[in-house]
Structure 1
Amino acid sequence: MTRIACDRVPVLAFIPAPFTTAQQLVETEAFLLGLIAEPAGMARAGRLTGRVFEAGTGNPVPWANVVLEGSGLGAAADSAGRYAVTDIPAGEYEVTASAVGYGTETSRVSLRGQPAVLDFRLRPARIDVAPIDARAEAPVRNLGDRVAPTRVVTRRDIEERGADNIQDALRAEPGVTIAACCPVSGSGEIQLQGLDGKYTTVLLDGMPGLADLGSYGLAHVPVTGVERVEIATGAGGLTYGGEAFGGVVNVVPSAVRRTGGMGQLEAGSFGNQRVQAGVDAKLDRLDASATLSRRQTGASDIDGDGVSDFPASTQTGVSARLLARLHERLDLTLSGYSWTDERRGGAMDRVAGRSDTGLLENPNIASWGPMAVLRWQAGAASLLTGRGSWSGYRQRVFTQERWLDAFEEVGYGDLQYAGQLPFNQRLSVTLSGRHERLTENTSPQARTQSRLGLVAEDELSLGPVTVIGTGRLERFSRFGTRFMPGAAVMYAPTTHVRLRGSYGTGFRAPSLYSKLAQFCAGRELVELIQNPDLAPERSRNAQLSAELSRADYSFSVGLFHNRLFDMVTDSMVGLDTARNVRQYRQFNRGEVMTRGVNLGAAFRPLPGLLLRAGYSLLDAQDAETGRALPYRSRHAASWTAGYNLARLGLSASLSGEFVGGMPTQRRHGEHLVEGPMSPNHALWHARLAKRWGGGPDAGVGYEAFVSANNLTDFVQDEWIAQEVPLWGPTRGRWFLAGLKLSF
């Protein structure tokens, strides 16, 4: 099996299901949200109990959410409005209660290892509350109660990793591999469960947009204004598209909590310069926010031949969002984004062997689009949501005295009902439509494809056991009607333990366009020859997991097994020396199997100290030949030690990742053949930050930070001359420093 050159940098992660809906917001037991926030001081663990009532009537409010702000702990009330949060470290907490159709109420409580009782009285209100908003203030809510093993990459995680785009934010998560596919653009793919990035569906605030964002493009999505990134693996993604064989990644923007803003300046090695800015406005019936991010990097000559191997770039991202509360039970969200990436030099220079200009000049990417969401709370425990989006993607490169231009448009819309039924049953039904259109100036006519989908998910709670059945019926313009079933069961014998099992199937139509084809060139241009005889891909996924979560530690283990049929791969079929073009064609390659184990752990041994570690074991092979799939590491691990000295405003983190050897490929004439095994290697990163003032959520605050990345200075320099596609770091040790202002 072969594919276009890809730089492989595996890393790891378990992760959460995106776009919370009303049926996700009901839970009859207390739950813990995991170790994802700033550690509290350790002492005897406390317990908080109470009830949630409706103000004025005194009636209980069932299924309300109760969250200890900033702690990562919380619970869901039962049908009588009772809740319980256990194993709470000693300290002062602001506790917030909220429910569908009610406003929020916040009270302050002091816990010193003794039980405490706190009741809430909520007033009926408009629906801009956390339980029905995927952008809610609490990072997890009951995403952990979904089908698949889940995890959230929080805003604090993103900052500690020094990430400036979504691709980098997902590094060092157990079970996730970041495989950089293009040395020209710096883009990579997000691999889940050993499957290529094209099998990862990427959502923007719960809404699908461009095709193949999982395999190309997340390096261009800035983290400015991002609250968290959620990841659901395997069958948990069936609700969001049958093509999500590996899983789903959801990028969730920050909710507007108050009127204010932020600004940040950064500078570092390799010509890194970045400016970020954001502003929020919170009015009586209106929330508005806007963000801007601009980053520049210099070209890099890693092999010392006087010609830059990787290009200089300028990346710009702009986004805006408006939430209007039209009525107590009706709100409207309008949002829009624009990302651009322009490259200069780099691998384009190598083609012509000179440092100023080459065969490829000024490649650039632009992506933009508006989105709209209308939510109506039809009843006390039901929600009707309509969503729509349009997105455009333009890719241009100048070569051989002409521009190569590709423009992709994607229109999407859906209508979803979610509600609570009798006998602890929850139901959601979604009707969706998607249309794609591709125009290329090298092709005489545009290509299109579309699909209509109907998804139903029925969840039944029987005490500690929750059973979920999912069915997805889709009609494809090119392949007719397909049905994809899925099922899952979760057993929660206590508030600390969860056992899960799930099974799902998938179906994926071939993509219209390979975004790597022209923009990501090495020494030659890449031409992808269309294959009209491609068959659609099909998949089966099964997974089991167990999770233990307490106040000061958590452990998780997950097993998965995937079977993929008629897998589409890129194979090199020729070399046009006259035009200096490598020709690729897509083929169906039969059956592929991936299976493995993901382990995760977190521990608070001391006040302010949080330790995390993850390990992944992966077996990925061609099921027909038994040969290992290229560019997949069998062993991978990650670790992080973070310390927060709150009274001094100091925080420090040391993180690392281990990447085991993997089979590679190398170019040999007109073909890609088996290459040498890559070496085992480890990457280390460190970050130190100091904060003054009120911080990002209250008053004026300042933060200064420095970070050192790839401390061991490991790069894949000598492999370039061997015609081996990139699999590891392309730049050595680098440093970054910055200053942030929030108000």
Structure 2
Amino acid sequence: MALVLALPAATAMTAAAQTTSPTPPAAASTKVGQVIVTGTRVANRTVAESTAPIDVLTPAMLEATGTTELATALSRALPSLNFPRPAITDGTDAVRPAQLRGLAPDQVLVLINGKRMHTTAMLNLNGSQGRGSSPADMNTIPIAAIERVEVLRDGASAQYGSDAIAGVINIVLKGSAKTGGMAVRAGQYKEGDGTTWQVTADEGMGFADGAGALHLSAQVVRADQTDRARAFVGPATPTSAPTDRVVQRFGDPEIRQHALGYNGKITISENMTGYSFGTFSYRNALSNGFFRPAGDTRNIPAIYPNGFLPQIRNRAKDQTLVFGLRGKVFDNTRYDLSYNHGHSFISFGVENTLNRSLGPTSPTQFYAGDLDLTQAVWNLDLSTEFAPASFAPISVAYGLEYRTETFAQGAGDRASWINGGVLLPNGSPAPGGAQVYPGYRPSDAGQFDRHSHSAYIDLETNPVEALTVGVAGRWEKYSDFGSTSSHKVALRYEFSPAFALRGTYSTGFRAPSLQQQYFQSTSTNFISVPGVGTVPFDIRTFRVNDPAAIALGAEPLRPEESTNVSLGAVLQPANNLYVTVDAYRIQVKDRVVLSENLTSTAVRNFLNSSGFPDIGGGRYFTNAIDTTTQGVDVVGTYKMTLGAGAVDWTLGYNRNKTEIDRIAPNPASLMAIDPTALRFGRTETGRLVVGSPRDKISANAIYRIGAWTLNAAASRYGEFTVRGATPALDQTFSPKWVGDLSLGYKLGTWDLSVGADNILDEYPDEVIFANSTGGQLPYSGSSPFGFNGAFYWARVAKTW
């Protein structure tokens, strides 16, 4: 059998860090024997036997990228993963969403040790990829805690439930009682900013008489801001930014993060083992808004005579706790009974700002409110194997799940949202609330919950030696929208050790999140207006059950439904050469999306007369579109000797395209208010169909000789397009190659390494002037590799 890891060269890095002589070429073949736990419930299933593409990434590979963020490391390793670095997008600056296979960030399920990870309380609302999503925040997990990451690139709702439309990312934590280590990493961008420090440590320990083990891990990260803003270009006026200096900041936020993890087990009896694991994270992030010039109507010169740059202080607490019992009953039936508790709490502070409607007595910092999400999951998973007469053995897994979710939104302090009534100098009403991020109002606050229960069955068998067949089905019922079901069929046939075919057909679903149903706020958005330029609007995000939203066409949200078809080939045409090709087609019906910002005069007049006098527009979530995403993943690896050393080569390619099959017509209620309104127009359709790279190439070579390891990687990010309010403001960004290089040396139990990410200091194309806010924002936040330039780093590590 020959099934290749999408990045087996990554696995080789672990060996490179632990040996002082080249691994024989034959060792490469053992990688396909890696036992996996994702996408199957059969014990001891290997990568080589999987019916769907599985990527296995080791911590050594993640650390070799030079980044402190798990999601960033995954995006550099996986051609099918997109992880842009947006800026000036409020909380999204700190909690960035990732996309798998061109789909939405919340259409991929994240697991920790096979257990569902909760999503973030954050809702991404502004102009970034993943707008409208609340995915899991993988960057809360310390890299030091990770044994490996398994990425299933296939629909898996029938196996795991909601969210697994694009695939599953399973983060497996270290559990060894005998290993440990410590590492210090430091780095800085070529421009002299973004200085980053990371300290990681992990330690395993065993219990008396070998009855159990506990592995602890910790991570501390300190990252300073980056800034690629420029001075305003144009005639200086009292309402414009100054032209003689840079007043805007545009780049990564300042991050201070502490994270802990543990993974333990203890033998209770011959057929029962208790286990528990958890992660804990605290992140303090400071990001920037848009500069308010001295003469701007949103400024009070008595407070800020030279204007001001408001900032958002985001404090996030995240934790996962899992307790369980597993073992065997009735000789051949394995059981796993577990309780899983997840919690995400995010608070928002606004600094260096003011509330214009309070006049010169306005505070300059505010507490803007908080978001809180809690998930509790009870699982009973059973599996057994039986052999019917005259038929091959069948592995059967079945189980039950009960899940509760609670989302709460807390109001900010009164000064952060109130309109104090102080008028502008011309007698017009002043905007209320804290500038850049008005606080959540008491009417926004509330607590919302739901529960669901489900049952599943999953069968796998080999009716003949060369054929693997898998069938799965799942039924779920939610308290807020009813029941749904999904199923999956998977086949793999090995014609010879050099060639195999595999394919899957599955249906899936994603339940609309509580955040999408109940989040409500007002925030300032900068929107491109034809003939005017970029204009600030205070946009109200309405709950779908709000009377104003209903008048604008909002309806109760329904679950997304998907159909996923894939066909792949696995080839081993020569010794040490492995190639996989997997094509896929994913249809999503009733996709949950955030509508366009509805800012027409008719809509504003309606909102202003409906109790929202300060609002410049509104938006809400809707099931208004159907999409089809088609693509292909191609991965090849080759291991060869080179002199006294060995080289692992990896080449990966992903190409995908999303098309919109349906956009629902406007409801009659919205047509009555504004017959020209577009709930889903060119800006949002562009974000879905052309907003991320059409293709991506990842190439990697690891050369190992003696105690030295040289790692060279290059990624080509394909073109993407950002659509403006009119075609004249559209811009297509050209493909870019980004190269990374690192050199490591092993001295006993010490590892020393230096490296450069984006070593050639590549930047995306500059945005056209009309979209750059007077030249201040020269790059697009949709760039798949950011816009910070070259990053240089060094790392010292010791293992034991």
- TM-score bracket, normalised by the shorter chain, equals 0.7 to 0.9
Contact 1:345/1:357 (CA < 8 Å) preserved in 2? no
Contact 2:37/2:45 (CA < 8 Å) preserved in 1? no
- Aligned residue number for residue 307 of structure 1: 248
| Whole-angstrom CA distance in 2 between matches of 1:152 and 1:325 | 28
Give the counterpart of 2:115 among 183, 192, 207: 207
TM-score (normalised: structure 2) = 0.71
Give the counterpart of 2:558 among 524, 530, 535: 535
| Whole-angstrom CA distance in 1 between matches of 2:78 and 2:147 | 17
The 3-state SS of whatever aligns with 1:624 is strand
Q: Does 1:707 align with 2:756?
A: yes
Change in CA separation of 1:285 and 1:446 when aligned onto 2, cut-off 3 Å = same
| Whole-angstrom CA distance in 2 between matches of 1:688 and 1:156 | 13
Change in CA separation of 1:516 and 1:460 when aligned onto 2, cut-off 3 Å = same
The 3-state SS of whatever aligns with 1:530 is coil
The 3-state SS of whatever aligns with 1:712 is coil
Give the counterpart of 1:686 among 741, 764, 781: 741
Give the counterpart of 1:553 among 566, 574, 577: 577
Q: Where does 1:218-229 land on structure 2 (aligned, <5 Å)?
A: 218-229=138-149
Q: Does 1:421 align with 2:459?
A: no
Contact 2:94/2:285 (CA < 8 Å) preserved in 1? no
1:413 maps to amino acid: W
Q: Does 1:273 align with 2:197?
A: yes
Shift of the alpha carbon at 1:703? Answer: 2.9
Shift of the alpha carbon at 1:517? Answer: 8.4
Change in CA separation of 1:319 and 1:226 when aligned onto 2, cut-off 3 Å = same
- Aligned residue number for residue 84 of structure 1: none
| Identity level (%) | 17
| Whole-angstrom CA distance in 1 between matches of 2:650 and 2:38 | 29
More strand as a share of residues: 1
1:592 maps to amino acid: T
Contact 2:539/2:597 (CA < 8 Å) preserved in 1? no
Shift of the alpha carbon at 1:707? Answer: 3.0
1:476 maps to amino acid: Y
| Whole-angstrom CA distance in 1 between matches of 2:105 and 2:473 | 24
Shift of the alpha carbon at 1:569? Answer: 1.1
Q: Deviations 1:360-403 (Å, cap 9, x if unpaired)? A: 43222111131112111225543101121111111111245333
The 3-state SS of whatever aligns with 2:61 is helix
Change in CA separation of 1:484 and 1:263 when aligned onto 2, cut-off 3 Å = same
The 3-state SS of whatever aligns with 1:161 is coil
1:680 maps to amino acid: P
Contact 2:142/2:217 (CA < 8 Å) preserved in 1? no
Unaligned runs of 5+ in 1: 1-28, 46-67, 77-129, 694-699
Q: Where does 1:250-261 land on structure 2 (aligned, <5 Å)?
A: 250-258=170-178, 260-261=180-181
| Whole-angstrom CA distance in 1 between matches of 2:44 and 2:254 | 38
Q: Deviations 1:501-544 (Å, cap 9, x if unpaired)? A: 11111122211115998899876776532214222211111001
Q: Does 1:233 align with 2:164?
A: no
Give the counterpart of 1:244 among 164, 170, 178: 164
| Whole-angstrom CA distance in 1 between matches of 2:791 and 2:44 | 33
Q: Does 1:387 align with 2:338?
A: yes
Change in CA separation of 1:143 and 1:548 when aligned onto 2, cut-off 3 Å = same
Question: Greater CA deviation, 370-379 or 36-45?
Answer: 36-45
Shift of the alpha carbon at 1:230? Answer: 0.8
The 3-state SS of whatever aligns with 1:513 is helix
Q: Does 1:593 align with 2:535?
A: no
- After superposition, the CA RMSD in angstroms is 3.6
Question: Greater CA deviation, 559-568 or 36-45?
Answer: 36-45
Q: Deviations 1:331-384 (Å, cap 9, x if unpaired)? A: 111122211221224336679898997544322211113111211122554310
Q: Deviations 1:85-109 (Å, cap 9, x if unpaired)? A: xxxxxxxxxxxxxxxxxxxxxxxxx
| Whole-angstrom CA distance in 2 between matches of 1:516 and 1:301 | 31
1:605 maps to amino acid: M
- Aligned residue number for residue 726 of structure 1: 781
- Aligned residue number for residue 497 of structure 1: 499
Q: Does 1:636 align with 2:638?
A: no
Q: Where does 1:309-324 land on structure 2 (aligned, <5 Å)?
A: 309-310=250-251, 311-324=253-266
Q: Number of residues paired by the alignment?
A: 626
| Whole-angstrom CA distance in 2 between matches of 1:393 and 1:229 | 22
Q: Deviations 1:133-167 (Å, cap 9, x if unpaired)? A: 99xxxx99614423321111122321222232220
Change in CA separation of 1:186 and 1:251 when aligned onto 2, cut-off 3 Å = same
Contact 2:5/2:54 (CA < 8 Å) preserved in 1? no
Contact 2:519/2:542 (CA < 8 Å) preserved in 1? no
Change in CA separation of 1:652 and 1:288 when aligned onto 2, cut-off 3 Å = same
Give the counterpart of 2:795 among 731, 735, 738: 738
Change in CA separation of 1:259 and 1:244 when aligned onto 2, cut-off 3 Å = closer
Q: Where does 1:342-741 land on structure 2 (aligned, <5 Å)?
A: 342-347=284-289, 358-378=309-329, 381-399=332-350, 401-422=366-387, 423-442=392-411, 443-462=444-463, 463-513=465-515, 527-532=540-545, 533-549=556-572, 552-574=576-598, 583-607=618-642, 608-624=646-662, 629-645=689-705, 647=706, 649-666=707-724, 675-693=730-748, 700-709=749-758, 711-715=760-764, 718=767, 721=772, 726-728=781-783, 729-741=786-798
Shift of the alpha carbon at 1:306? Answer: 3.6
Question: Greater CA deviation, 533-542 or 493-502?
Answer: 493-502
Change in CA separation of 1:487 and 1:240 when aligned onto 2, cut-off 3 Å = same
Change in CA separation of 1:73 and 1:301 when aligned onto 2, cut-off 3 Å = closer
Change in CA separation of 1:435 and 1:357 when aligned onto 2, cut-off 3 Å = farther
Q: Where does 1:123-272 land on structure 2 (aligned, <5 Å)?
A: 142-171=46-75, 172-180=77-85, 185-211=93-119, 215=135, 217-258=137-178, 260-269=180-189, 270-272=194-196
Contact 1:475/1:481 (CA < 8 Å) preserved in 2? yes
More helix as a share of residues: 2
Unaligned runs of 5+ in 2: 16-20, 121-132, 231-245, 356-365, 412-443, 527-535, 546-555, 605-611, 664-684
- Aligned residue number for residue 126 of structure 2: none
Q: Which has the larger radius of gyration?
A: 2
| Whole-angstrom CA distance in 2 between matches of 1:516 and 1:267 | 38
Change in CA separation of 1:660 and 1:690 when aligned onto 2, cut-off 3 Å = same
The 3-state SS of whatever aligns with 2:662 is coil
Change in CA separation of 1:679 and 1:502 when aligned onto 2, cut-off 3 Å = same
Contact 1:235/1:247 (CA < 8 Å) preserved in 2? yes
Shift of the alpha carbon at 1:254? Answer: 1.5
Contact 2:292/2:308 (CA < 8 Å) preserved in 1? no
Contact 2:175/2:214 (CA < 8 Å) preserved in 1? no
1:557 maps to amino acid: V
1:634 maps to amino acid: R
Shift of the alpha carbon at 1:237? Answer: 4.9
- Aligned residue number for residue 672 of structure 2: none
Change in CA separation of 1:343 and 1:242 when aligned onto 2, cut-off 3 Å = closer
Shift of the alpha carbon at 1:605? Answer: 3.1
Contact 1:32/1:496 (CA < 8 Å) preserved in 2? no
| Whole-angstrom CA distance in 2 between matches of 1:417 and 1:526 | 49
Shift of the alpha carbon at 1:427? Answer: 0.2
Contact 1:706/1:735 (CA < 8 Å) preserved in 2? yes
Contact 1:174/1:600 (CA < 8 Å) preserved in 2? no
| Whole-angstrom CA distance in 2 between matches of 1:432 and 1:41 | 47
2:225 maps to amino acid: A
| Whole-angstrom CA distance in 1 between matches of 2:753 and 2:165 | 41
Contact 1:182/1:520 (CA < 8 Å) preserved in 2? no
Contact 1:303/1:717 (CA < 8 Å) preserved in 2? no
Shift of the alpha carbon at 1:718? Answer: 4.0
Change in CA separation of 1:371 and 1:147 when aligned onto 2, cut-off 3 Å = same
